[in-house]
Chains A and B, each alone.
Chain A
């Protein structure tokens, strides 16, 4: 339990819908859902979801805070936007899913093992370090996410693709040493830090 999580539980008591409306991106749309199920049926990854979007919306309204925020479901969204296009009430479902994932992460209670979340963290650390993605280090970290053995396996599997990329000049094999970021990485990091502070202050998160 992070301090922010404890603070939010105290603040919103049992009204999880209000908490979502105030803190989750596009969260004030949740109450508009009429439970038709077209989003769940339209999701190409539907089978992989423990709770499809309309179920998550109902769980939010039913106050199932723990189940929703620790759920793996919203992390499965691939942003194909099929649900937004078809939703008869024009709910920005994709954005709400990302908003929920982000909020759960911010509270420190997001699903720990979900690969999407772990990859997102790797990606964020990678890009915020230098201002540009270091593709070689990103792929290595991704392959070795689950340990050395599976990392080597994945690496061997993808060897052909990797060599092809090197041959055509799309991947620099020396990038671990030679990767160049943007000119002012310190400035970028200061900006991100400031942005974080502003958001925390605006949303009343304990830092």
Chain B
């Protein structure tokens, strides 16, 4: 860590999701020195947790692989994982950034052989699976994790299990004496790409996410489809492990609601349209497989209209124009019952479904105001494009609710802005 060199011609990228990776890679490919900081033990962010992207329905692992390959080819790009920015001071072209690096307890001798995980029996909630399943306390974050290095969870440090893990390692990669480090980095420009998190569904009281097992969020549903997910790629409902076939999707769960998030999260309509296609993928022509999308209005922007039209034409998908009023549970079967009024004709309904998926909204992941007071954010906490921000640029979902495609465009734009700043610094110093 101590060999990390950063000057005021360096671009610091905070967040190693698709936006941060894009911004970092593009700047490095333009010949700039880049330091990429990631809070979790591996790059990839939320995109790595998706089963498929819309609209082409290809797998994100593919795009991730391409980006990791580009990233590995860049000598000017340094990646620091398990690191968080705690403070930014200075001005454009001359920032000082404090970074807290948490101990991984595994050094770069690690070959990801997994011998440490075999001897450890303690389990922790797996954040990669949105805590739907457990993982060993010595773990690889996910199959495609970069860096391909195991992590030993802090909870077993100081226990005999940690010593067993150390003893099991043939490569002397387990270092139980690692401690938290603080780095002070210089940077000419900062790209803030800390991304988003799903809105806390527990706050949407009438939908009972906290009370009913079979009310889940869209991100959890996405993990279910993944062959490496908590249900090994099967759509099994949480209450009884039965295959969920009659599935309801509730749009604007938290978004466009002054009681929750005032903004439209943009991705959720397309996400639910995409997820409705998973039923055909999973069950083929089975007539029992039926998805129902409850919506206020479908916001499939520009070219996504085609995708919407295609899903609309699918007889397995029904659309009900209604914001669901509340959900109750049939305590006998565990089915969820959605109550509301279909505003097309004002028909009252009490529809029973196997599983209900809340298309939860996006909320900014990290509060930049905690690390610097110089950045302007909007009412939702997204970073505004404001000249007063100096050379701190929001990228991707830290700046707005964006899909992957738009996040990448936005990150490239942020990268170009940052490059201009460090170019000015270089010219002034020459």
Structural contact, B323 and A47, CB atoms closer than 8 A = no
Q: Are the CB atoms of B252 and A41 closer together than 8 Å? A: no
Residues of A within 8 A of B339 (CB): 41
Residue A28 is within 8 A (CB to CB) of chain B in the complex: no
**B181: shortest Cβ distance to chain A, in Å?**
45
Chain A 87-110 per-residue mask, 1 if CB under 8 angstroms from chain B, else 0: 011100000000000000000000
A52 CA / B206 CA spacing, docked (Å)? 19
Closest Cβ–Cβ distance, residue B351 to chain A (whole Å) = 11
Asked whether, in the complex, the Cβ of B258 is within 8 Å of the Cβ of A42, the reply is: no
Q: What are the interface flags for A13-49 relative to B under an 8 Å C-beta threshold, 1 for contact and 0 otherwise? A: 0000000000000000000001111101110001100
Distance (whole angstroms) from the CB of B292 to the closest CB of chain A: 15
Tell whether A153 is near chain B: CB-to-CB under 8 Å.
no
Contact partner, B325, options A35, A38, A55, A89, Cβ 8 Å: A38
CB pair B326–A41 under 8 Å, yes or no, is: yes
Q: Is B98 an interface residue (CB 8 A)?
A: no
Q: What string of 1s and 0s marks CB contacts (under 8 Å) between B306-350 and chain A?
A: 000000000000000111111000000000000111110010100
Residues from chain B with a CB closer than 8 A to the CB of A88 are 252, 256-259, 323
Known: A88-B256, A90-B258. A37 touches B206 (CB 8 A): no
Q: Indicate if B289 sits at the interface (CB-CB under 8 A).
A: no
Q: Which residues of chain B have C-beta atoms less than 8 A from A54's C-beta?
A: 341, 343
Number of A-B contacts (CB under 8 A): 62
* B258 close to A86 (CB less than 8 A): no
Kindly provide the distance from the CB of B341 to the nearest chain A CB, expressed in whole angstroms.
4
- A-B contacts, 15 listed (Cβ < 8 Å): A37-B321, A37-B322, A37-B325, A38-B325, A38-B340, A40-B348, A46-B341, A47-B348, A52-B346, A55-B346, A85-B259, A86-B206, A86-B259, A88-B252, A90-B258
Roughly how many angstroms separate A141 CA and B321 CA in the complex, as a whole number?
Answer: 45
Interfacial chain A residues near B324, Cβ < 8 Å = 38, 41
Contact A34 B296 (CB under 8 A): yes
With a cutoff of 8 Å between Cβ atoms, the chain A residues found around residue B296 in the complex are 34-36
Query: Please, how many angstroms separate the alpha-carbon atoms of A54 and B340 in the complex?
Result: 12
Shortest CB–CB separation between residue B293 and chain A, in angstroms? 14
Q: Identify which of residues 48-107 in chain A touch chain B, using a CB-to-CB cut-off of 8 Å.
A: 51-52, 54-55, 85-86, 88-90
Supplied contacts A41-B322, A51-B346, A54-B343, 13 more A-B pairs, CB within 8 Å: A36-B323, A37-B322, A37-B343, A40-B340, A40-B346, A40-B348, A42-B206, A46-B348, A54-B341, A88-B252, A88-B256, A88-B259, A90-B258
Question: Bound state CA distance, A37 and B294, in angstroms?
Answer: 11
Instruction: Say whether B341 contacts A41, CB under 8 Å.
Output: yes
Least Cβ–Cβ distance between B252 and chain A, in angstroms: 7
A164 to chain B, nearest CB (A): 36
A91 to chain B, nearest CB (A): 10
Residues of B near A34 (CB, < 8 A) are: 256, 296
Interface residues of A in 108-138 (CB under 8 A from B): none
Q: How far is the CA of A54 from the CA of B324 in the complex (A)?
A: 14
In the complex, A10→B16 CA distance in Å?
Answer: 65
Chain B residues, CB < 8 A from A46:
341, 348
| Contacts A36-B296, A36-B322, A86-B206; A41 near B340 (Cβ below 8 A) | yes
Closest A residue to B349 by beta carbon equals A41
Give which listed residue, B258, B340, B343, B346, contacts A89 with CB less than 8 A: B258
Q: How far is the CA of A57 from the CA of B286 in the complex (A)?
A: 42
Chain B residue contacts of A38, Cβ below 8 A: 323-325, 340
Using an 8 Å CB-CB cutoff, how does the interface string of B222-261 with A read, 1 for contact, 0 for none? Answer: 0000000000000000000000000000001000111100
Nearest-CB residue, chain B, relative to A47? B348
B346: which A residues are within 8 A, CB to CB?
Answer: 37, 40, 51-52, 55
Residues of chain B within 8 A (CB-CB) of A86 are 206, 259, 325
Chain A nearest CB: distance from B255 CB in Å? 9
With CB as the reference atom, state the residue of chain B lying closest to A50.
B346
Q: How far is the CA of A111 from the CA of B257 in the complex (A)?
A: 34
State whether A40 touches B259 (Cβ < 8 A).
no
Distance (whole angstroms) from the CB of B159 to the closest CB of chain A: 48
A37 with B323: CB separation less than 8 A: yes
Chain A residues whose CB sits within 8 angstroms of the CB of B258 once the complex forms: 88-90
Residues of A within 8 A of B340 (CB): 37-38, 40-41
Most buried by B among A37, A52, A88, A89: A37
Is the Cβ of B341 less than 8 Å from the Cβ of A52?
yes
Best-buried of A42, A47, A54, A55 by chain B (most CB within 10 Å): A42
Q: Is the CB of B259 within 8 A of A42?
A: no
**Chain A, 167-181, CB within 8 A of any chain B CB:** none
Chain B proximity of A105: nearest CB distance (Å): 25
Chain A: which residue is nearest B348 at the CB level? A46
Closest to B261 in A: A88
Contacts of B342 on A, CB cut-off 8 Å? 37
Distance between B85 CB and nearest chain A CB, rounded to angstroms: 34
Tell me if A36 and B343 are in contact (CB < 8 A). Answer: yes
> A26 → chain B, closest Cβ, in Å?
16
Could you tell me the distance in whole angstroms from the C-beta of B67 to the nearest C-beta in chain A?
Answer: 37
Query: Cα distance A63–B252 when bound, in Å?
Result: 29
